[in-house]
Amino acid sequence: MKRNYKRQTKVKLAVYGKGGIGKSTTSCNISVALAKRGKKVLQIGCDPKHDSTFTLTGFLIPTIIDTLQEKDYHYEDVWPEDVIYKGYGGVDCVEAGGPPAGAGCGGYVVGETVKLLKELNAFDEYDVILFDVLGDVVCGGFAAPLNYADYCLIVTDNGFDALFAANRIAASVREKARTHPLRLAGLIGNRTVKRDLIEKYIEAVPMPVLEVLPLIEDIRVSRVKGKTLFEMAESDPSLEYVCDYYLSIADQILARPEGVVPNDAPDRELFSLLSDF
Ligand code: ADP
Ligand code: MG
């Protein structure tokens, strides 16, 4: 009998963080950085905002949930090309989408997305799959991508709210790590030069910090232009230094770090740790 030598996905990343902190921007640029290192990458937007892959494709691609609704939930009528779009640098892009506003469950949508992609055998083709997930509320639904991931990356700034969300995510990772081979690869600081609160936090809850990116006007502009920094750097080589941040993160991930199973600080402890009183 012939054996089926299917290619196994090598790294599954889940990028979490507070809304608006820069998850999608960071995810798209990390995806391109991984592609530049020769990896075949799939980025899955799991935020109901469904703009995760915008800077990769330059437009808002149709979501899985919209496509499924259109096909009356007949999975067998959905083709990979209906839901997987080519982005810059050869990165493949999927948007899970969200439930109707004020109704339904975002986690259900993530579950349906994974189910459909598995039915399309889409998971086996990739070296890296990156889930870009909203991390304000890590309810069971939004924690679902952690069931499929090897590594969690948290994007935060140097402020209380994002670190508070980071701590909730750390708690979810610890919980999932009981039953899954999941590790926290670490924090990515974004839009900040100050890192005193980040340092305070990791003293209480030890975890690696992969990079800290400052506020860079060209990153803000990249969102408006619908381009990653790598695409912008093609016509403006002065931006290559920004790409280097993302390449460094990609290289650290590809080195398969040991990562940590974090402890998390109790909420009240975190309040006093990160406040002046
Ligand atoms: P999220 O996915 O976490 O909701 P986004 O990636 O959409 O956040 O980022 C929110 C906004 O912040 C975007 O306009 C983006 O261009 C901008 N942004 C992200 N990171 C930076 C940065 N380091 N410097 C300047 N602007 C940034
Ligand atoms: Mg986003």
Give the rounded percent of residues in the chain with a pLDDT score beyond 70. 96
pTM for this model (two decimals): 0.94
* Residue 97 beta carbon below 6 angstroms from any ligand 1 atom: no
pLDDT category at 5 given cuts 50, 70, 90 is very low
* Residue 193 beta carbon below 6 angstroms from any ligand 1 atom: no
* Residue 19 beta carbon below 6 angstroms from any ligand 1 atom: yes
91-105, 180-194, 243-257: range with lowest mean pLDDT: 91-105
The overall average pLDDT reported for the chain is 91
The ligand 1 atom at the shortest distance from the C-alpha of residue 21 is 3
Whole-angstrom distance, CA of residue 92 vs CA of residue 199? 35
141-165 pLDDT, tens digit each: 778 889 889 999 999 999 999 999 9
Whole-angstrom distance, CA of residue 67 vs CA of residue 269? 45
Task: Count the neighbouring beta carbons within 10 Å of the beta carbon of residue 175.
Answer: 16
Whole-angstrom distance, CA of residue 56 vs CA of residue 178? 35
The ligand 1 atom at the shortest distance from the C-alpha of residue 214 is 23
Residue nearest to atom 26 of ligand 1 (CA): 220
| Residue 119 tokens, joined | 């039915």
Residue nearest to atom 19 of ligand 1 (CA): 22
* Residue 188 beta carbon below 6 angstroms from any ligand 1 atom: no
239-255 pLDDT, tens digit each: 999 999 999 999 999 99
Calculate how far, in angstroms, residue 156's C-alpha sits from the geometric centre of ligand 2.
13
Catalytic residues: 18, 23, 49, 136
Are residues 24 and 57 in contact, defined by beta-carbon separation less than 8 angstroms?
no
Are residues 88 and 56 in contact, defined by beta-carbon separation less than 8 angstroms?
yes
pLDDT category at 2 given cuts 50, 70, 90 is very low
ipTM tops 0.95: yes
